[in-house]
Amino acid sequence: MVETITKKFEEVYGDAKGVKVFFAPGRVNLIGEHTDYNGGHVFPCALTIGTYGVARERQDRKLRFYSMNFSHLGIIESSLDDLEPHKEAGWTNYPKGVMWAFEKRGFQIPRGMDILLNGNIPNGSGLSSSASIEVLTGYILRAFFGFEVSNQDLALIGQYSENNFNGVNCGIMDQFAIAMGKKEHAIFLDTADLSYVYAPVKLEGAKIVIACSNKKRGLGDSKYNERRSECETALAELQQVVDIKGLGDLSEEQFEEYKSAIKDPVRVRRAKHAVYENQRTIKAVEALKANNIVQFGQMMNASHVSLRDDYEVTGIELDTLVEEAWKVEGVIGSRMTGAGFGGCTVSLVKDEAIDTFIKQVGEAYCAKIGYNADFYVVEVGDGPCEL
């Protein structure tokens, strides 16, 4: 890959003098969905697929971006003096947003750059191609200009830029999982205070299989922000009767005791998901530590049911993928992952069942939905690096 993208850089920009090559992974969340902005726990891991970047400094303030994934757009030019979101800037609003966020933190970027990206994360799949680009950009800026920021800072800067530059009210999980990824480990992260532990993901005789629904979704214009505000309102109502900072502070029993404070039945269901999913995540990680992969799979299945019925973010595409997965012998667990409304499912599948799983689920999906899903057998990878 390094040779391919360096060669492409040379082709696009005329030469490849002074370039450095980088990689930032994508991520998948194994369990703990829509808990990250509710002060709960999440359990994501970095993947071996992600975004590759080639970059070099310029001697002026010009920024030039090129993506091999959107090669038809050619080079998109901008400048360090124009770090504003523009609709016509397309995907380059992500790296520009990170540059803007660095400057907001007092890190002045002295010179422009030529940057080329190539991602092997399916676009719009919910495996965090945007967060991967954000962390990669931060890593590139640190490598070239010597900014004193930790990988955890890179995650926070990426989230800040996505919230405030790109207008997507995302939680910290995506950027954190990518910036802090560790091979063969998932990150048990408490989003309330960013405390975390690495938990080994030892899937002897099984693999993670991602099924991409190929239903495109835009987070900013989906119901993501609506769900978030429903939870914020429910939290405010609960805070009238119990001293909590986030929905993740409640146990299931406490939620049942206090839920009558929430004035709307829809908000009750939304809050119930946030509370119960957080507790499920805690139990799932305990199960994994005890090497009880079957129990972990059951928690994944229960997570999907809650996302379908209480949080209502699945939709026919994701439900079909998961319900068909549950029918296949050798599937340990399956659920939607990411924001929902399209995107992907994540399944733990025994090695000997993978081919059957892809064939059976793929055929049933196409018959019902009318177009194909794509399948990716992935492994748990490391965080960002210079190659």
5 contacts 68 by C-beta, under 8 angstroms: yes
Query: DSSP strand E in the chain: where?
Result: 20-29, 41-42, 44-57, 62-67, 76-79, 113-119, 185-190, 195-200, 206-212, 331-337, 344-350, 374-378, 385-386
CA 265 to each of CA 14, 127, 238, 240, 274: distance values in angstroms, whole numbers, following the listed order: 61, 31, 14, 17, 15
3-state DSSP call for residue 74?
coil
Instruction: Work out whether the CA dihedral 266, 298, 354, 69 comes out positive or negative.
Output: positive
Which neighbouring-strand residues pair with 344? 212, 337
66 contacts 115 by C-beta, under 8 angstroms: yes
* Residues 153-189 as b or e (16 or more Cβ within 10 Å = b): bbbbbbbbbbbebbebebbbbbbbbbbbbbeebbbbb
Contact residues for 165 (Cβ-Cβ < 8 A; gap 6+): 85, 93, 96, 97, 100, 101
Compute the distance between CA of residue 29 and CA of residue 384 in angstroms, rounded to an integer. Answer: 17
Active site residue 174: yes
Catalytic residue among 36, 114, 174, 310: 174
Active site residues: 174
